Every structure is written in structure tokens, then in C-alpha cells.
Structure 1
Amino acid sequence: MMSHTAYMIASYAVAALTVAGLVLWIIGDGRARQRELKTLEAAGIRRRSAEVSSGEGK
């Protein structure tokens, strides 16, 4: 039978692995989105936030 200490260590280990997995997933997804943006910008597609002002009022 598991002792209380072993249960606590296992619980913290599972939680730490879950958080580490989520952090790695977020980092990987962010890098993928950056690559996607670079590909779109290289194709001439620009973001609205990067529009050059034409001097006309909106």
C-alpha cells in the first residue's frame, strides 16, 4: 500500500509534468504562429495593425 508521502510526491510530480507540458505546448504554438505570420508577410499579406497611414482621415 502507498504511504502518504509517496502519494504526495506522485501528485506533485504529475502536476509538475502537466504544467511543463502546457508550457512547452504554448511555446511551440507561439513559434508556429510566428512562422505562419512570417510566411504570410513574405506573401505580401499584411496585418491591419501594420498599415501605413495614407494621410486620409477615417
Structure 2
Amino acid sequence: MRPEPMSLGPYASFIVTSYLLVAAVVLFLIVWIALDYQRQQQRLRELEASGVSRRSGRSAMDTR
């Protein structure tokens, strides 16, 4: 038995366009987040190299 192709009716172009647009937006957000993560990591390395330390990196004895 061969399955019949799915029929989306008269709104097929709207449905397909909507799914493609959503896929493009999600892909854009993934790329944007990945690039921003890399920029933040680079900025953190620059700050640490200049002598700025993270408060979360301190030990319990440093806060007294």
C-alpha cells in the first residue's frame, strides 16, 4: 500500500510559509545566541586578563 500525499487544502501556501518562517527565526536565534556566547566568553577572558576577578570565583575565606 502506498500512502497518499497529505493535502493541506486551500491554505497550503500559508501553512508552508508559516513553518518556513518559524524555522528561519529559530535558526537565526540559535546562531545569534551562539555568537553572543562566544563574545561574552571573549569579554570575560579580557576582563580576567586585565585583573578583574569574578566574585563567584572567590573562596569563603576571601569574603571575611
For the aligned pair, the TM-score class normalised by the smaller chain equals 0.7 to 0.9
Post-superposition Cα deviations, 1:1-58, rounded to whole Å, max 9, x if no partner, equal xx411111100000000111111111111110000000000111100011245x4774
Q: Identify unmatched segments of 5+ residues in structure 2.
A: 1-9
Q: Scaled by the length of structure 2, what TM-score is found?
A: 0.74
Q: Percent identity?
A: 31
How many residue pairs are counted as aligned between the two chains?
55
2:30 aligned with 1:5, yes or no? Answer: no
Give the alignment's TM-score, normalised by structure 1.
Answer: 0.80
Bigger radius of gyration among the two: 2
- SS of the counterpart of 1:44? coil
Shift in CA distance, 11/45, structure 1 to aligned 2, threshold 3 Å: same
Structure 1 residue runs of 4 or more that deviate by more than 4 Å after TM superposition: none
| 1:31 matched to 2:38 | yes
Quick one: distance in 2 between partners of 1:30 and 1:6? 36
